[in-house]
Amino acid sequence: MEAPHDLVVLGSGPAGEKGAVQAAYFGHRVVVVEKAPEPGGAAVHTGTLPSKTLRETALYLSGFRARDLYGVSVRLDDPHAAVPRLIARKDAIARQESERIRHNLARHDVELVRGDARFVSPHTIEVRTPEGARRIDGRYFLIATGSSPRNPPDVPIHEPDVYDSDEILALSHLPKSMVVLGAGVIGCEYACMFAALGVQVVLVEARTQFLPFLDHEVGRRLESAMQHLGIEIRKGHRWGRIHRAANGRILCDLADGSVLESETLLFAAGRVGNTAGLGLEHVGLTADDRGALKVDRHYRTAVPHVYAAGDVIGFPALASTSMEQARVAVCHAFGIDYKQSIGPMLPYGIYTIPEVSCVGETEESCKEQGVDYVVGRALYRENARGLITGDLEGMTKLVVHTKTRRLIGTHVIGERASELVHIGQAVMHLGGTVDTFIEMVFNYPTLSESFKYAAYSALGELAKRR
């Protein structure tokens, strides 16, 4: 009989990898079970990295970034050659990242077992491996099995030309038109990517507010930039039947009676936790109707020796937070005095075109909480690096507490937004004020310098309040 492992991790995505390595680093014997042929999960194979690689490749192949510099029209030299080039680049990145994960696990002496895991008793899983079944006992378990695209019965995902966000990565050619259902982060990102490649995109969303968690001014800017990119945005529309016309095109009925017709359709409306088939009943757990597991602030489920982290626990379902949750879970399980909680301020990076990133309070959240605030803005078009880069629509926006002058929110839309936001995040994390930016010397010319000018703008607003 195999000796029990200290930690058994189900899944090798961001949560599984980081949780496993954290425990192994502190001397514990760890095994990771992964059912896919290569480690990395959705982050490496179907979600984060593939979509971000496609975005960069789409911008490069379409000459998109050069549009405002040289007045070139955005078009692909050879649309037929684009898809193989997009796919090849994405596959190369996935291979390298899987290899990095294998290496990271191996150098921490974490065993990686290929197979489908399910609980057969509270302390034992059975793994169906290509070679047969293997039982693994553990003292603690970390469920990090991630999520999959939601697949409602009335959406014919497996029909040709109808895709979900996993299948879209196997697109064989660039379509002329696409209807994207769901303007969540996934829908918006893919809508932008395909529009940049010259595909005619219609984006449908039931809500009337575009990405409602964004600062509304930033959301409006993004919406108008996406429209400028050629995307037709249909807000406040529910969709109904999706079917095929006699001419082979895809039809999507909208609740107002109109019908959208396109060559392809991407269904991008939500994900469900990968808990079906995990044998949760053998450990005394149940998932909710979205397949998600409930955890406490230490990421412990209702069963004390079983933890869960990442997409399988639902919101916010980001690679960034999944890793941190798993580290916290493992530190708690083994009493490691290292990481007790995840940072209180979670940044969002949305890789639309343009990119958007934010952390902390929005104008709307300040109003809701009755917080007295001012904002400062700096436009990329008034920034030397913005002019050089040709991004004339970008903006850095700071939200500052009127009384304490502390920075409480950072919002960036434009080139490098998801990198730049960390400047604001660091200042917020360290309790900095608007004056911090005034004291700092920034490299010139940089987009980072927009923080100083946004701070000046906020100072102007503060002066009016005196």
Among 119, 351, 373, 453, binds ligand NAD (CB under 6 A): 351
Q: Is 134 near ligand FAD (CB under 6 A)?
A: no
CB of 406 to ligand FAD, least distance (A): 26
**What is the pairing mode between strands 200-205 and 177-181?**
parallel
Q: Is 270 near ligand NAD (CB under 6 A)?
A: yes
Chosen from ligand FAD, ligand NAD, none, partner binding at 53 (C-beta under 5 to 8 Å by type): none
Nearest to 462 by CA among 373, 397, 355, 359: 373
CB 23 within 8 A of CB 108: no
Q: Is 179 near ligand NAD (CB under 6 A)?
A: no
CB of 193 to ligand FAD, least distance (A): 10
Chosen from ligand FAD, ligand NAD, none, partner binding at 270 (C-beta under 5 to 8 Å by type): ligand NAD
Region binding ligand NAD by CB under 6 A among candidate stretches 104-112, 184-192, 376-384, 405-413: 184-192
332 Cα distance to chain centroid: 26
Name residue 300's beta-bridge partners: 307
Nearest to 411 by CA among 358, 458, 354: 358
Interactions with ligand FAD, residue window 240-279 (CB under 6 A)? 274, 278
Binding letters toward ligand FAD, positions 109-128, x by CB under 6 A: -------xx-----------
Name which of 28 and 271 has its Cβ closer to ligand NAD.
271
Among 180, 309, 317, 421, binds ligand NAD (CB under 6 A): 317
Distance from C-alpha of 40 to C-alpha of 383, rounded to nearest angstrom: 39
CB 326 within 8 A of CB 143: no
CB of 351 to ligand FAD, least distance (A): 5
Known binding site for FAD: residues?
A: 52, 145-147, 311
Interacting residue ranges for ligand FAD, rule: CB under 6 A: 10-16, 33-36, 41-43, 47-48, 51-52, 116-117, 144-147, 165, 186, 274, 278, 310-312, 317-320, 322, 349, 351
